[in-house]
Structure 1
Amino acid sequence: MKTHLKLITSSVLLSMMAGAAAPAFAQGAVLEEIIVTAAKREQNIRDVAATVNVVTGAQLDDYSILNFKDIERITSGISLTQKNPRNNTISMRGVVVDPESGTGAAVDVYQNDVPQRADNIFGAIYDMNRVEVLRGPQGSVQGATSPAGAIILHTTKPSLDGISGYVQADYGEGNSAFNLQGAVNLPLVTDKLGLRIAAYDDRSDGTNIVNIGTGNVQETSSTSFRASLLWRPTENLEFSLVHQDNDELLMGTPAVVGSRSAAAGFRGVPGIPCSIIQGFGVGGPGCTTLTAEDNSALAADDAFSTRDAQITTLNMDWDIGENHQLSYVYGRTDSEKVSRTENDISSNFALSQAFLQFGLGVQSDTDYLTHQGTTTVVDADVHELRISSVDNPVWNYMFGVFYRDQKTSTRFQSFSTSASFLPLGAVANSPFSPIVFTGGHIEGINFATGGTIPFNTKNEAIFTSHSFQLSEKTVLEAAIRLQDVEGFNTTDILFDGLQQPERISIQGVQAFSLTPLIPPAAVPSVANGIAQQVLQGTLAALRGINIESIPPEFQRRESDSTTGSISLRHDFSDETTAYIAYSRSFRPGGISVTPGSPLGAGDLLYGDEESDNIEIGTKMVYLDGALEVNTALYKQDFDGFLLFTRNLDFVAPDGSVQALTGGLVSNANATFSGVDLDWRAALSERWRAGGGISYVKAELDNASVPCNIRQPGQQVGRCSSSSRVPGAPELTANIFAEYARPWGDMEFFARGNAKYNGGIVATRAVEFGTSPGETDSYNLVDLFMGVRQENWEVSVWAKNLFDEDANLDLSNPGDNFDFNGDFREVFLLPPRSFGLSARMDF
């Protein structure tokens, strides 16, 4: 209810910006034409038989969009999140992919028509011409056949007719954010050759989370440099070469909420939640409780990620004769990402000797390592060649070939603790009689496992698209894509050493004999001997770790697919256009990577995913071009939808129930149906506004999904489900507006935007009597006011005006090995901040 009130309040604020200055649509105010290249040819956005949204470079500047993930603040229907320093997710039309799953992207990202890994794009966004958001399956002319959509970034090209550029600075108080960026355009040869240099530097405290364990505040920094060269040797030939270097540091552990009593032990011993301790009357002041408002982390060390990416793109367009164009696209990407994730999210905060007091004989220990480190190196080459007709009156066509070769190698090292307790019970390996242990533990077995995960893919495709002008008002378009995907993936896990082996010891052994055959005085030495055997057996087992997670017969895979689209568009009038479209997408199958979990192929393997989408849309213009409203209804049926489930348990070969590392991908039938609506209006010469709303109902169709309810003989449980698909909100909406009026020889302006996001269902597994749960909805509001002249602008702003602190993700207590209580991670929004922006154009 509180969020709904904020949404209403923010909408009213934006609507009141103009006051009574524009009570009706003013005559003569019209919207500017938008040209897109969503179908690999220049088109008016109203002529595209699909849902396409455009964020212009001017809008990115106006609404202070300085980071890729902030694009969602001015666009409905997409969610761009960065849950931790390692992983970024993009969702659209209800489909989302967890990067840990290893499946193909739900939404692919392109820069200058070259597909990119999402983690190379999350971060710096600057000096952009426009961003195109394509919704629905992309199975025809784009480089990847993603099921939910694509985001295409078009960087600003050099100008060939004069020196120009800009400098822009932003400072925000609240999370100490500072951004400086600029560009300079240099024509080297008039009308022939031009160079544009752009640079970006951004630093902030992120969401202001303080890690109590280390005293450090979350920190983000990003620098980027881009050089663009435009060469036009003749009127009909153009080359555009762009090289961009990105360097980024993200440091900070996610905040936690929950509680823990003082009765917590060393790592590897479960803590006791406050609710239980207080139930026995012994908790009280000894409990540590944190809420989202505390904005605190408790990890023993700080998580971090450094990224270094070099992105090079080359685009060539050659007009051959009067009505043909030959186009070539080349891309090269080299990147390295070094990450460290702290698995013990709450460390050993406020420890005491409570276990000793309870007679359990357990010492606390605070410096065992529990983190995981990874280094991921990626290099990718992309080639695309197209020939297409141009401006033929009846039939226009395109034929193309596509090739992508991407090699990924991830080196990982993960620290664990083993053999915390001696067996508290009878041990039958005494040569005389059973020995019963009543206490004792093995301390100091802190070890590392490691390995290298290669993941290589090769994609080869041919495609063609055709547009037929059936009549003056009716156009039929069809496209087909044939592709072959080859992949190689393996994971070998090896013992990688002991941490501080000199500290391994047996502590506090307490035992007694069941018979008088062993004199009481001899029991300690016999018990210690047995304990030493347990210790040596444990160390031998650890040193012998050599796990081949993916059997050789499943390490190579190949998938062939046929995808495409067909649409019929009709102009009922100059103001009204309607279309119906069918499109098909494909994602290849594979095998789940679950290091250290000995599951069978039946649980690990998953098949290909295919989807068929029907969309009906209208594009309407009203009030002599002052108001534009676009609407699309769609239904997308998935055969083998790739569903990722976390927090699973499995039955090990020895019969014990253990936690599964990572998660499992499974196939499920599912249906996604929804509506997208967007609008923009020139309410007057001084007042512009726009917005959108997206709703999707995404449900599984009697699918067999992994769960923690097992039948006899099952390693991993399976449950039948027709529930909501997890991971993405059902409803999102946004509104933005700007009002300007003269003020002396300057112009005063006020602008704002509001974004509503519904809650999401968690990807965690279902257990007896539980449901995955849903996050709260939230509303983000940003306001700006300032003055400007033709070549400069100064503004003050407030971001997250209502200081929303919503949790954007759900996790179970212990999802990240919280050994010391019932804390769980939360993913919070950046806090409210006030700031100043200044820009100078020249």
Structure 2
Amino acid sequence: MKSVCSRQALLLCCSVVALAMPALTHAATPGATGAAVPAAGDVPPATATQVDPAVSINEIIVTATRQSKRLQDVAMTVNVATGEQLDKYKIFDIKDVDQLAPGLELTNTTGRNNTTTLRGVTFDPDQGTAPAVQVYINEIPTDAQTAYTAIYDVQQIEVLRGPQGLLRGLSAPAGSITITTRRPSFDKIEGYAEATGTDRAGYNAQLGVSIPINDKLAIRFAGLLDGNRNNNVRDINRNGQRSQSRTESERVTLGWKPTDTVTAYLTYQHLYADNVQFQQVVGSGANPYGVYETEFGTPVSFLPAAYGGHPFTPDTTVRSGPPLKASDYAAVADGEFRNVNNTHIVNLNVAADLGPATLSFVGAHQFSKLTINRDLDDTNALPGYVEYSNVITPYIVNTAEVRLSSNNREGLGWGLGAFYTKETGVTTVAQDSSQFWYPVAPGTPVNLPYAAIGVPLAGFTPFTLSNTLGIATLVNVPVNTQTWSFNGNVRYKSGGLTIEGGLRYSLLRIVQTTQLTLSGAVTQGPYEIIPAALQRNDHNPLTGGADISYALMSTLNVYAAYGHSYRSGSTGVSVPAGISNDLIQTKPEQTDSFEVGFKGSAVDHRINFSISTYYQTLSNYLSLFPNIYYDAPAAQPATGFFQFNYNGNASIKGIEAAIDNRVTSNWDAGISASYNHARYKNALLPCNDFAGTGTPNQNGAPAVTGGGNVSFCRSNGPLAEVPDFSLTANTEIRFPMGAYTPFVRALFTYRPSFYSERVQYQYQDRELLNLFAGVRIQDSRWEFDVFARNLLNQQRITNTTLGQGTVNALLGGTFNSGYRAVNVMNPREFGATLKFKW
């Protein structure tokens, strides 16, 4: 492991004694919330609470192993955030949770594709494979688009790091995120209401209330209304229209305790989210069109190519937009990008204590309909034209899991389980491809030579074409995936020694087909574009893991763990015709990870600390490569840009450490850091190599280097667009004054500068500081605070594309917008929150 300790890793190793974890923590900050914690094992799953500020003992109960355990006793790296902590730092969007956990990046570059990166392993929802980090709500796997959209009335979030191939139904190479919502109270009426507003038109109102009907039946109602400006971007070509998001959600949970040994919770949740998010751009802008002089001496405003050596000059009357920089928060698309998510979820969780063992069942039914309307030309390479796309994705997911697990804490224990999930639905994609023929003035016929469209005739015979001569495409993508899995595990505990291990056998069945219909200038179909041999993926992987831990003393545990996970490859849908099979279907991915670490506490649990190091290999790591230029001469011919899945071997070396400290009874402070060196291992990957240099670039006219359909570049670069090192810190100081307790708290995250090989860009370092000040009244029943997000008002680019945005057309070649598509840190925002609990 010597190679792990680069300069940043060495800094991490040498600073462990000074580290303290913030709100999302390996051992959560003392005093962050205010409820006593029972002894480990007395807390039912996902109902852990925390200590009163006056009490020094702070033991966090987690369900990472599907049992309630002290965090210190779990032989893996687990981060925990309670609902109170999420509220404390105004985490209304789960994507902001990455401010609380180093090494975790939650991004949404378009307002649609929620992307999770953990330990340097990333996942793009558009790649069509199982995610690298699997998300669960109330123990049921859920897509990130739904899970991340509405975070309210949450009991606890746990981030499990490392391969997950045993304890939960779906395997994941980087980890899992489990979200548990609050359950109703059988004892008393209790709840909360809060409202937040900001100076950037942000608002968040939420409510949660439990009503016990009797000692056996209780109900909890919760609701959310949230609105904001998303990425705070204005579209200057749409009269300054702003990005805007509105989310409404309601949840009702019915709790039933017919006996002392049986509990059941039935939850229904509805989600409606409507997001308009314009793609921000930076650059000088361009004049994509030119003035072309015909052989008759008539200037024609048309495409940027010089036919037959005739004069060609830029048409300065038509421009993509003005020069723009990051601080302008501006977009130039002619069309809108709107995403609507309408989801219904029913979840049932039942547990029966049979004495020697507990029998449990979780099941869910989810129906979602995602509707996306967008202008694909988001950098406006074709001014005055909307490259329209409409995507409708209705899908149904049914999931069920049954488990039987022994109840003994000492001696030999065991567990058995069976899991099933199936997803069905048909995605439809309707896209206007008139830009394929596009003339400058929409609807206006223009004269051009036949030679311009590849007809080798002498001279320049006039040829009339208008943009009504377009192509409309309709793509149907049926979804049919099914997973059965069966697992067994054993554990042995004697005193301070615990040994656990198990296996999961899965049957994965995936059918992927795509039917394409063309209309307009070309009429074809519908016809199947996925080769028959690539339409079905059947895999039967064996995954699992083992760990051993030992309590050197009651306050110090050491552990070692091994994990193995598996992800099926996928068949690309709506891929261009005529490309090679390796660009259509990917190979399965397998992952092995080894981790060692220790966790402990000192000074009567006033100090909690942990450190772990790991090494992980990924065989055929699955990733998505967007905006790759392809050339398929066997298909009519065809060229353009597309996103392709591809495999490459990789490895990761990492260190993660944390320490939190209650300095005094009214002062908590913390720091946590993570170093993850995730790199490809001499992988040959799709790239844009227009200049033929063997490295990613878009210098010159689009071209394919080599003899394939796309260019390939050799890479030992990062797996994700994130730095290796990250750090987060927090502090809270309280000033008790009788019934009033003023407080000040701060949350700070640091991401260093790093160079991206994939997009050829040097990202700047980022220092994000959020500051809060307020007062609690009457034993925290009332709380009012004011806050500032991004107090330093940094406006750093967090994501960018390789080169400037372009659009290809059959007539005229490539149009260049003069802009890069980017994402930028949201600007400084001030707000205030009022909360009441009863």
Please indicate, yes or no, whether the TM-score normalized by the shorter chain is above 0.5: yes
Are the counterparts in 2 of residues 305 and 340 from structure 1 also a CA contact under 8 Å? yes
Give distance in 1, aligned partners of 2:436 and 2:559. 62
The alpha-carbon deviation at position 82 of structure 1 amounts to: 1.0
CA shift in 2, pair 1:286/1:72, >3 Å? closer
The answer to whether 1:137 aligns with 2:125 is no
After the TM superposition, which residues 82-231 of structure 1 pair with which residues of structure 2 at under 5 Å, given as runs?
82-173=108-199, 175-189=200-214, 191-215=215-239, 216-231=241-256
Out of 441, 462, 468, the position equivalent to 2:486 is 462
The alpha-carbon deviation at position 620 of structure 1 amounts to: 2.0
CA shift in 2, pair 1:458/1:398, >3 Å? same
Render the CA deviation track for 1:69-123: whole Å, top value 9, x for unaligned. Answer: 1111222221111111321101101111111111210001101000001101122
Stretch of structure 1 that moved more, 307-316 or 738-747 = 738-747
The answer to whether 1:638 aligns with 2:656 is no
SS in 1 for 2:275: strand
Give distance in 2, aligned partners of 1:728 and 1:776. 11
Give distance in 2, aligned partners of 1:294 and 1:657. 41
The alpha-carbon deviation at position 57 of structure 1 amounts to: 1.1
Question: Corresponding residue for 2:3?
Answer: none
Are the counterparts in 1 of residues 118 and 175 from structure 2 also a CA contact under 8 Å? yes
Give distance in 1, aligned partners of 2:727 and 2:655. 12
Give distance in 2, aligned partners of 1:271 and 1:690. 60
Stretch of structure 1 that moved more, 258-267 or 449-458 = 258-267
Are the counterparts in 1 of residues 287 and 318 from structure 2 also a CA contact under 8 Å? no
CA shift in 2, pair 1:246/1:658, >3 Å? same
Question: Corresponding residue for 2:741?
Answer: 747
Out of 241, 252, 257, the position equivalent to 1:232 is 257
Question: Corresponding residue for 1:528?
Answer: none
Out of 541, 547, 550, the position equivalent to 1:567 is 547
Are the counterparts in 2 of residues 730 and 759 from structure 1 also a CA contact under 8 Å? no
Give distance in 1, aligned partners of 2:288 and 2:611. 58
After the TM superposition, which residues 491-570 of structure 1 pair with which residues of structure 2 at under 5 Å, given as runs?
491-496=514-519, 498=520, 539=521, 542-544=522-524, 548-570=528-550
Out of 349, 370, 381, the position equivalent to 1:315 is 349
The answer to whether 1:723 aligns with 2:746 is no
Give distance in 1, aligned partners of 2:769 and 2:335. 34
After the TM superposition, which residues 317-466 of structure 1 pair with which residues of structure 2 at under 5 Å, given as runs?
317-321=351-355, 323-347=356-380, 366=384, 368-416=385-433, 417-420=435-438, 422-423=448-449, 425=451, 434-437=458-461, 442-466=466-490
Give distance in 2, aligned partners of 1:429 and 1:458. 50
Render the CA deviation track for 1:315-361: whole Å, top value 9, x for unaligned. Answer: 1110002x311010111111011011211224489x7xxxxxxxxxx
Out of 801, 825, 832, the position equivalent to 1:829 is 825
The alpha-carbon deviation at position 47 of structure 1 amounts to: 0.6
Are the counterparts in 1 of residues 162 and 175 from structure 2 also a CA contact under 8 Å? yes
SS in 1 for 2:656: strand
Q: Which amino acid aligns with 1:731?
A: F
The answer to whether 1:787 aligns with 2:775 is yes
Are the counterparts in 1 of residues 760 and 802 from structure 2 also a CA contact under 8 Å? no
Are the counterparts in 2 of residues 211 and 302 from structure 1 also a CA contact under 8 Å? no
SS in 2 for 1:293: helix
Are the counterparts in 1 of residues 165 and 563 from structure 2 also a CA contact under 8 Å? yes
The alpha-carbon deviation at position 292 of structure 1 amounts to: 1.0
Render the CA deviation track for 1:758-794: whole Å, top value 9, x for unaligned. Answer: 4576685xxxxxx643433312211111111221100
SS in 2 for 1:119: helix
The alpha-carbon deviation at position 829 of structure 1 amounts to: 2.2
Question: Corresponding residue for 2:801?
Answer: 811
Give distance in 1, aligned partners of 2:84 and 2:792. 26
Give distance in 2, aligned partners of 1:643 and 1:428. 37
Q: Which amino acid aligns with 2:788?
A: A
CA shift in 2, pair 1:494/1:816, >3 Å? farther
Render the CA deviation track for 1:531-552: whole Å, top value 9, x for unaligned. Answer: xxxxxxxx3xx12365633112
The alpha-carbon deviation at position 744 of structure 1 amounts to: 4.5
After the TM superposition, which residues 615-764 of structure 1 pair with which residues of structure 2 at under 5 Å, given as runs?
615-653=595-633, 660-709=640-689, 712-758=706-752, 764=758
Larger Rg: 1
Question: Corresponding residue for 2:310?
Answer: none
Q: Which amino acid aligns with 1:393?
A: E
Aligned-residue RMSD, C-alpha:
3.0
Are the counterparts in 2 of residues 425 and 438 from structure 1 also a CA contact under 8 Å? no
Structure 1 portions without partners, runs of 5+: 1-10, 16-26, 273-278, 352-365, 499-538, 765-770
Render the CA deviation track for 1:250-289: whole Å, top value 9, x for unaligned. Answer: 10211111123456369994599xxxxxx99999999821
CA shift in 2, pair 1:776/1:378, >3 Å? farther
Give distance in 2, aligned partners of 1:795 and 1:780. 19
The alpha-carbon deviation at position 745 of structure 1 amounts to: 2.6
CA shift in 2, pair 1:28/1:285, >3 Å? closer
Give distance in 2, aligned partners of 1:749 and 1:712. 63
TM-score by length of 1: 0.83
Stretch of structure 1 that moved more, 794-803 or 824-833 = 824-833
Q: Which amino acid aligns with 2:827?
A: P
Render the CA deviation track for 1:398-445: whole Å, top value 9, x for unaligned. Answer: 100000111142111111223347447499979xx8333589764443
Question: Corresponding residue for 1:798?
Answer: 788
Render the CA deviation track for 1:572-594: whole Å, top value 9, x for unaligned. Answer: 11222111111001000122235
Q: Which amino acid aligns with 2:238?
A: T
Question: Corresponding residue for 1:508?
Answer: none
The alpha-carbon deviation at position 810 of structure 1 amounts to: 1.6
The alpha-carbon deviation at position 156 of structure 1 amounts to: 0.5
The answer to whether 1:595 aligns with 2:575 is yes
Give distance in 2, aligned partners of 1:682 and 1:429. 79
Q: Which amino acid aligns with 2:535?
A: Q
Are the counterparts in 2 of residues 145 and 585 from structure 1 also a CA contact under 8 Å? yes
TM-score by length of 2: 0.84
The alpha-carbon deviation at position 124 of structure 1 amounts to: 1.4
Give distance in 2, aligned partners of 1:621 and 1:429. 79
Give distance in 2, aligned partners of 1:618 and 1:799. 34
Are the counterparts in 2 of residues 485 and 559 from structure 1 also a CA contact under 8 Å? yes
The alpha-carbon deviation at position 813 of structure 1 amounts to: 4.1
The answer to whether 1:247 aligns with 2:235 is no
Report % sequence identity.
Answer: 28
CA shift in 2, pair 1:214/1:463, >3 Å? same
> Number of residue pairs matched?
744
